[in-house]
């Protein structure tokens, strides 16, 4: 009886975690570059009531008798599938079509990685994200000097940023945006602000030019949307809700049987 009580409590905790994961996915359905999460479960150790026996001359073998002790949280995975691309018409919006992450750097040189390509220019013409982190290029930061006489600038699919002059001079190459890939993207840690950080299980970043060695190409004036599928999340929400209710019913049923046992003395 006590086993079923604790199994029900464990199941409630598991489905609460699943609902928390689903809620986070839904809240980020319109977050650029967001990668949805998925909670998975596994069964816990089983109590051995009777061991297996091998076949003999007069009697066949028997299977073990085991009582499960509930389930536990196995993983919370980050699903790194490609989100849909949305055209914005804004020159500094970039999307990665394929594998890889933009490399961002703070003032101390610490690197982080993102799929959100909504970039901006600061007062000095440096390419940054919404939190002021610098976009890393092959020669450090990318600076588009507002006093250099550029009429406009372009970013190619290979990440080359060029300044276009109004007097017909050849374009000035200002840098090439870099992309990082990882042996295990699922091992990256979400750091908030659309950023990921490397971990011991993600592997070291392999940084290079877009479109090379399996890295995705850049798509200009486009942003990658969240890969959250609302219909699928609502279906998973229903499953989690019913699973939670079933486990609460197990606790109620176990409690009623325990109450009956206590009432036997009366």
In a domain, 159, yes or no: yes
Cα gap 118→120, rounded to integer Å: 7
Specify if 54 maps to a domain: no
Do 104 and 219 lie in one domain? The reply is yes
CB of 47 within 8 A of CB of 69?
yes
Residue 22 lies in a domain: yes
- Domain residues for the domain of 177 are 85-224
Q: Which of 166-170, 202-206, 210-214, 223-227 has the lowest mean pLDDT?
A: 166-170
92 shares a domain with 206: yes
Examine the domain organization and report whether 124 and 220 are in the same domain: yes
Burial of 35 (0-12, 13-18, 19+ CB in 10 A): buried
Instruction: Name the token pair of 180.
Output: 């990082």
Residue 60 lies in a domain: no
- Does residue 52 form part of some domain? no
The chain-wide mean pLDDT, for the chain, equals: 91
- Average the pLDDT over 3-9 and give the result: 87
User: Which DSSP category does 28 fall into?
Assistant: T
Residue 1: which pLDDT band, with cuts at 50, 70 and 90? low
pLDDT for position 266: 66
Could you tell me if 139 and 189 lie in one domain?
Answer: yes
**What are φ and ψ of residue 245, in 5° steps?**
-65, -40
Distance from C-alpha of 215 to C-alpha of 209, rounded to nearest angstrom: 8
pLDDT in tens, 7-40: 889 999 999 999 999 999 999 999 999 999 999 9
Give percent above pLDDT 70 in the chain: 99
Q: Are residues 70 and 168 in the same domain?
A: no
Q: What is the pTM of this model?
A: 0.86
**Where does 88-134 have alpha helices with state H?**
none
Kindly report, residue by residue over 99-119, the tens digit of the pLDDT: 999 999 998 889 999 999 999
CA-CA distance, 228 to 232, in Å (whole number)? 8
pLDDT for the residue 76: 94
Contact 246, 4 (CB under 8 A): no
Residues 199 and 247 in one domain: no
What is the number of structural domains in the chain?
2
187 and 89 together in one domain: yes
């Amino acid at each position: 009886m006590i086993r079923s009580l604790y199994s029900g409590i464990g199941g409630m905790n598991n489905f609460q975690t699943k609902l928390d994961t689903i809620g986070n996915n839904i809240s980020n359905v319109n977050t650029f570059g967001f990668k949805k999460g998925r909670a998975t479960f596994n069964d816990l150790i089983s109590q051995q009531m009777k061991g297996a026996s091998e076949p003999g001359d007069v009697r066949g073998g028997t299977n073990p008798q085991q009582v499960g002790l509930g389930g536990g949280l196995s993983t919370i995975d980050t699903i790194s599938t490609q989100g849909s691309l949305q055209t914005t018409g804004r020159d500094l919006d970039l999307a990665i079509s394929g594998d890889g992450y933009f490399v961002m750097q703070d003032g101390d040189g610490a690197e982080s990685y993102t799929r959100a390509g909504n970039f901006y220019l600061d007062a000095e013409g440096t390419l940054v994200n919404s939190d002021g982190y610098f976009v890393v290029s092959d020669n450090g930061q990318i600076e588009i000097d507002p006093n250099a006489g550029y009429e406009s600038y372009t970013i190619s699919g290979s990440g080359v940023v060029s300044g276009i002059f109004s007097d017909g001079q050849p374009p000035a190459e200002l840098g090439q945006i870099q992309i990082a890939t990882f042996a295990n993207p699922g091992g990256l840690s979400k750091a908030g602000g659309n950023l990921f950080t490397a971990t011991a299980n993600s592997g070291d970043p392999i940084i290079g030019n877009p479109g090379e060695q399996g890295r995705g190409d850049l798509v200009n004036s486009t942003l990658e949307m969240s890969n959250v599928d609302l219909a699928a999340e609502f279906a998973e929400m229903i499953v989690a809700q019913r699973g939670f209710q079933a486990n609460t019913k197990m606790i109620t049923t176990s409690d009623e049987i325990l109450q009956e046992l206590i009432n036997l003395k009366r």
